[in-house]
């Protein structure tokens, strides 16, 4: 087999292992793109790395045939171990922000790097270091955040693709072009650095055919272990069938409650899409109940409604991203049945920085054929009429701080392991009445 066919066969093996080991990842990315999450932008580093590799190959110089297979095996094993750790250990920690970070995509590129080290050698793989920097130093989470910072729409995604896909390859290819122009301007020739006009001798493969293919069983085994890693469930599995849409972004208030204030957030269109709406309705109970408040004070709650065009937007922006939870601890969620085949998730939040404890219940349902809505009910431990409620914010800084705490300090730093479900019964009753009111209104 000629060297060209041998190298093509090695790349075919790597591609097959990458597809098989991360088949669920690629299916999930395709589904997210189909539902409007814009996950195709995650492949921008692939375009940039490919163009950077082409630019490096054009300016490639002859390489010394240095063989150190022991170093290849050590480095390759370490890199493949990192890919396994990301997929099996790190990814489950960040399951709540899976669509945003897509750490499995990062693990796929790490696996590709390790496979290249085994099949082509550390020296040959390292000679394409700018391409690997584009692929590994521009993680999916960074691509997402930059796209969001630029507006989050199709134009922002196109700008990210152009920035990542063209900026680095241009930086790699520009220096040799400038040198050639200078040589021509100075009267030199392109072949001046090659006496006699002879082209450099072709470089030899760093890893022999026999050594490379002896590593194939290891790559197959690692790909099989990676393929067995489970991914977090998609939010579309939790979206219920809701009532037909009605005019206005808010919800119909059930009997026994009255609306005291309504807030519309104008920045929702920039963050969640041009047709998205986000509103908060402050409601107050018209009756007092001892099981809700021992001092017989009327309870106050907030009903927050986010309406978007597709479930992919809810995947990309989980509920935690709409609040400042950088110094908060959240309890594990509990599933609550609200009737009409609607299931909600109940959680408590302890904000140590603002000395605020609050409860929330959230559910998602469709509102017609082209709208998906996430409804969140919020109560606070302070039962006074003017009690402070958590503010809705359009930022990602708190999300980043929370992710760093989770990585460095563990889940105990961001999880309330001993929650007090004080308002579980109240929110369950309110949520059930709210769902029934929407169907009655429709």
Query: pLDDT (tens digit, 9 = 90+) per residue, 19-70?
Result: 999 999 999 988 888 876 777 778 888 888 888 888 777 766 666 666 688 9
pLDDT at 189: 47
> 54 vs 11, which has greater pLDDT?
11
Task: Decide if 161 contacts 122 (C-beta within 8 A).
Answer: no
**Would you say residue 320 has pLDDT above 90?**
no
pLDDT score of 257 more than 60: yes
Return d(Cα 354, Cα 240) in angstroms, integer. 34
C-alpha–C-alpha distance, residues 11 and 125, integer Å: 13
Mean pLDDT across 326-342? 89
CA distances from 176 to 11, 60, 61 (A): 28, 10, 12
Res. 192: pLDDT tops 50: no
Burial (CB < 10 A; 0-12, 13-18, 19+), residue 372, is buried
pTM comes to 0.79
Look at residue 6 and tell me whether its pLDDT is greater than 70.
yes
Give the residue from 113, 102, 103, 46 showing the smallest Cα distance to 78. Answer: 113
> Is there a contact between 156 and 41 (Cβ–Cβ < 8 Å)?
no
Whether 403 shows a pLDDT value over 70: the answer reads no
Q: Give pLDDT, residue 328.
A: 82
Is the confidence at residue 377, as pLDDT, over 50? yes
């Amino acid at each position: 087999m000629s060297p060209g066919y041998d190298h093509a066969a090695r790349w075919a093996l790597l591609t097959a292992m990458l597809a098989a080991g991360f088949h669920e990842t690629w299916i999930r990315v395709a589904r997210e793109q189909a539902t409007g999450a814009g996950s195709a932008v995650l492949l921008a580093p692939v375009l940039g790395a490919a163009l950077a590799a082409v630019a490096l190959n054009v300016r490639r110089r002859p390489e010394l045939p240095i063989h150190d297979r022991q170093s290849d095996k050590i480095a390759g094993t370490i890199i493949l171990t990192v890919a396994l750790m990301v997929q099996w250990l790190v990814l489950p920690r960040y399951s709540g922000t899976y669509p945003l970070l897509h750490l499995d995509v990062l693990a796929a590129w790490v696996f590709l790097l390790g496979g290249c080290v085994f099949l082509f050698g550390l020296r040959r793989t390292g000679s394409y270091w700018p391409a690997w920097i584009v692929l590994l130093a521009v993680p999916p989470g960074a691509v997402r955040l930059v796209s969001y910072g630029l507006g989050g729409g199709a134009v922002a995604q196109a700008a990210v693709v152009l920035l990542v896909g063209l900026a680095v390859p241009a930086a790699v290819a520009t220096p040799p072009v400038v040198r050639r122009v200078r040589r021509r301007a100075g009267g030199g020739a392109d072949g001046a650095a090659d006496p006699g006009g002879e082209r450099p001798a072709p470089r030899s493969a760093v890893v022999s055919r026999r050594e490379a293919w002896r590593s194939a069983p290891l790559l197959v085994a690692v790909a099989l272990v990676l393929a067995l890693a489970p991914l977090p469930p998609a939010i579309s599995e939790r979206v219920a069938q809701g009532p037909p849409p009605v005019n206005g972004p808010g919800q119909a208030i059930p009997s026994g409650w009255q609306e005291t204030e309504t807030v519309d957030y104008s920045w929702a269109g920039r963050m969640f899409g041009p047709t998205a709406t986000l509103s908060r309705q402050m409601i107050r109970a018209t009756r007092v109940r001892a099981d809700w408040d021992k001092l017989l004070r009327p309870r106050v709650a907030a009903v927050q409604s986010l309406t978007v065009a597709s479930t992919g937007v809810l995947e990309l922006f989980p509920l935690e991203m709409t609040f400042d939870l950088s110094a908060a601890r959240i309890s594990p969620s509990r599933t609550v049945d609200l009737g009409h085949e609607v299931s909600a998730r109940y959680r408590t939040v302890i904000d140590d920085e603002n000395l605020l404890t609050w409860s929330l219940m959230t559910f998602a349902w469709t509102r017609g054929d082209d709208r998906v809505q996430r409804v969140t009910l919020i109560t606070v431990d302070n039962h006074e009429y003017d009690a402070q409620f958590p503010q809705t914010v359009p930022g990602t800084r708190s999300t980043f701080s929370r992710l760093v705490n989770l990585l460095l300090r563990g889940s105990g730093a961001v999880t309330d392991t001993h929650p007090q479900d004080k308002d579980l019964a109240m929110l369950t009753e309110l949520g059930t009445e709210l769902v029934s009111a929407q169907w009655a209104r429709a």
